[in-house]
Amino acid sequence: MVRRRDGSWICARCGGPLVPVERPRRSARLLQVLGGVAMVGLAAALAPPLLTGLRLEEPPAPLATVLPPTPAGLEGIDKDSLLRTLAVADAAWTPRAERLGNGRTRYHYKRRSGDPPLSLAEIRVLMANPPTFATERNAIVDLLATLGRVGVRIQLTEPRKRGAAGEWDPRARTLRIKPSALNNGSAEFAKVLNHEAIHVAQSCRNGHVRAIPRRLGLDDRLPPQLQSVLGEDVYRSASPLERELEREAYANQHQLGLGASLVRRYCRPAA
């Protein structure tokens, strides 16, 4: 191209004027670039995911709706009905008098194995001041709530181990107590429940509620009335570990606040 005297440019070959081409301004170029980036981002968002051997269905629902709530606590009977049943059984521990035809009086009362016979004076005191078993019932309520919070299921059903009043099944995190245990009233039921709660704590001591139990290190000296308990048929085929665990539970089952305390100490609350 050739520049004429008036400053315009002409084509050196044909002599025609040249029309200047306006360069795009920087801001316009920037918009074009940004527009390209925006489109790339949108295309990427709309692109189907790369599948690597998985068949993607609908997005999973929240976990709480996929899995039902984990059952825990007392099953088959509510707490109030349980306590009412125990209260009826507790009444049998109050001595009663029977007037005989010859004018004499016969007294009837229940006595636990290992307890000495009651004197007439002791019988009359019990009749005038029937036991309330409030301590035992409070312990039962505390144990039920504490065990439920750590995910333990409590069933009134026959234990799978023949002859047992109760059993702890860590794999199923289920505590089974035979229904007839209710017939002995609050004191005996609380003792059985406390015994099994100690076994639950033994599992948690080994890492979690479903673990194989291990000793807690409690005093395992048996009271006199339980010295022969591990010789019963139900423990005939028990392993040395089972005997150690049972000894620890039997030695401490009478401490009604202990089971709940140990569960709170060693067990994690259920999610």
The answer to whether 258 and 199 are in contact (CB under 8 A) is: no
Would strands 153-156 and 73-75 be described as parallel, antiparallel, or unpaired?
parallel
Instruction: Give the pLDDT of residue 14.
Output: 53
Integer-rounded Cα radius of gyration of the chain: 40
DSSP one-letter string for 55-112: ---SPPPPHHHHSPPPP-EEESS-HHHHHHHHHHHHHTTS-EEEE-TTS-EEEE----
* Least reliable range by pLDDT among 56-70, 143-157, 249-263: 56-70
pLDDT of residue 25: 46
Query: Could you tell me how far CA 133 lies from the centroid of its own chain?
Result: 28
Asked whether residue 111 falls in the same domain as residue 179, the answer is no
The CA-atom distances, in angstroms, between 101 and each of 39, 105, 108, 120, 123 are 107, 9, 16, 20, 21
DSSP 8-state code for residue 177: E
Residue 150 lies in a domain: yes
Clarify whether residues 85 and 214 are in a common domain: yes
pLDDT of 239 > 90? The answer is: yes
Q: Which helix (H) or strand (E) holds 190?
A: helix 185-205
193 & 125 share domain: no
Closest CA to 140 of 91, 178, 189, 92: 189
Does residue 65 fall inside a structural domain? Answer: no
Q: Each residue of 68-116: pLDDT tens digit?
A: 456 899 998 999 999 999 999 999 999 999 999 999 999 999 888 778 8
Confidence of residue 65 (pLDDT cuts 50, 70, 90): very low
Number of domains in the chain: 2
Same domain, 192 and 262: yes
Instruction: Provide the percentage of residues in the chain whose pLDDT is more than 90.
Output: 65
Instruction: Decide if pLDDT at 13 tops 60.
Output: no
| Domain membership flag for residue 62 | no
Pairwise CA distance, residues 164 & 64, whole Å? 37
Secondary-structure percent of the chain, ordered helix, strand, coil, rounded to 5: 45, 10, 45
pLDDT for residue 11: 53
Query: What pLDDT score does 54 carry?
Result: 20
Domain shared by 82 and 205, yes or no: yes
DSSP reduced 3-state for 154: strand
- For the record, the structure tokens of 52 come out as 């690597």
- Confidence check: pLDDT of 48 > 50: no
The answer to the question of residue 209 being in a domain is yes
| 206 neighbors 199 (Cβ within 8 angstroms) | no
Look at 17-21, 242-246, 261-265 and tell me which has the smallest mean pLDDT: 17-21
Q: How far are the Cα atoms of 107, 184, 196, 244 from residue 110, in angstroms, in the given order?
A: 10, 10, 25, 32
> Is 180 in the same domain as 230?
yes
AA letter at 180: S
Q: Which helix (H) or strand (E) holds 155?
A: strand 153-156
Q: Which of 17-21, 53-57, 224-228 has the lowest mean pLDDT?
A: 53-57
Range of the domain at 122: 97-130
Q: Is the pLDDT of residue 182 over 60?
A: yes
